[in-house]
């Protein structure tokens, strides 16, 4: 299954029911398009992205907040609610959540230079978590900052703010992410390349966006925004 036209792929993802086998085949094709190096001029704006299901409604709500970088001055926020059409399957979360992110992204007047998504990038069994999936489809630099590990092995980083250790692919042995201590005395977060950003830069941006909490501000505030939106949808 090979895709050369991203618009056709986007239409397919949004309109056609996919089997697990088809979804995994699409993941493998999209993974080949991931750029794991810095491919941007300058990062002046960062958008935090989070989403959540609306309980008992069969819907997903996504919130995106755009900030100046590195000052983190907020200047735009948008949201989108979509039907929850794809079942929850570990490793295929992007097919469930991706359409909501893309719909919200379309509403932005100010397109950000980078997306920071609450989830995995290449730290994924097939190398394509939600941050990479969306980054490739939208052709935008992206990083994944996850609260929990999905895949890989690591050693605990020192209990010092800014310390990090590699997250290593269990099967291949290569580095697929970073286990980052954003604050002393709290659990680390799991940072990985999404698209068009290298790992060192992804870690640097994550730490530059940290303001005294475990979770960096863009995704922390997007999470608060999404929870507010969920309550209004009930």
Beta strands, E only, the chain = 45-54, 59-68, 74-83, 114-117, 142-146, 164-168, 175-180, 189-195
Q: Which two tokens stand for residue 165?
A: 């250790």
| Residue 131 pLDDT | 98
Q: Of 178, 172, 150, which Cα lies nearest the Cα of 91?
A: 150
pLDDT per position as a tens digit, 124-147: 999 999 999 999 999 999 999 999
Q: Which of 50-59, 107-116, 120-129 shows the lowest mean pLDDT across its residues?
A: 50-59
CATH fold for the domain made of 6-233: archaeoglobus fulgidus dsm 4304 fold (3.30.2170)
Does the pTM exceed 0.95? no
Average pLDDT over residues 1-13: 51
Q: Would you place residue 107 in the very low, low, confident or very high pLDDT band (cuts 50, 70, 90)? A: very high
Instruction: Examine the pLDDT at 15 and tell me if it is beyond 80.
Output: no
| Residue 17 pLDDT | 72
Q: Would you place residue 118 in the very low, low, confident or very high pLDDT band (cuts 50, 70, 90)? A: very high
In the chain, where the domains are located: 6-233
């Amino acid at each position: 299954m090979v895709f050369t036209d991203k618009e056709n792929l986007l239409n397919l993802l949004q309109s056609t029911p996919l089997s697990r086998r088809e979804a995994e085949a699409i993941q493998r094709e999209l993974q080949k398009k991931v750029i794991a190096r810095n491919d941007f001029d300058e990062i002046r704006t960062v958008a935090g992205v989070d989403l959540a299901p609306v309980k008992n409604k069969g819907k997903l709500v996504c919130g995106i907040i755009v900030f100046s970088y590195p000052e983190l001055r907020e200047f735009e926020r948008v949201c989108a609610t979509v039907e929850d059409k794809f079942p929850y399957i570990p490793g295929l979360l992007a097919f469930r959540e991706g359409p909501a992110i893309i719909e919200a992204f379309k509403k932005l007047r100010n397109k950000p230079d980078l997306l920071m998504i609450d989830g995995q990038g290449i730290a994924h069994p097939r190398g394509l978590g939600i941050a990479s999936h969306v980054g490739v489809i939208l052709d935008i630099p992206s990083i994944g900052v996850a609260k929990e590990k999905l895949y890989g092995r690591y050693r605990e980083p020192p209990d010092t703010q800014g310390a990090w250790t590699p997250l290593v692919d269990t099967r291949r042995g290569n580095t697929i992410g970073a286990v980052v201590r954003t604050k002393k005395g709290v659990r680390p977060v799991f940072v990985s390349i999404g698209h068009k950003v290298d790992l060192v830069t992804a870690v640097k941006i994550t730490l530059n966006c940290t303001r005294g909490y475990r979770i960096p501000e863009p995704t922390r505030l997007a999470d608060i925004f999404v929870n507010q939106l969920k309550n209004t949808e009930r």
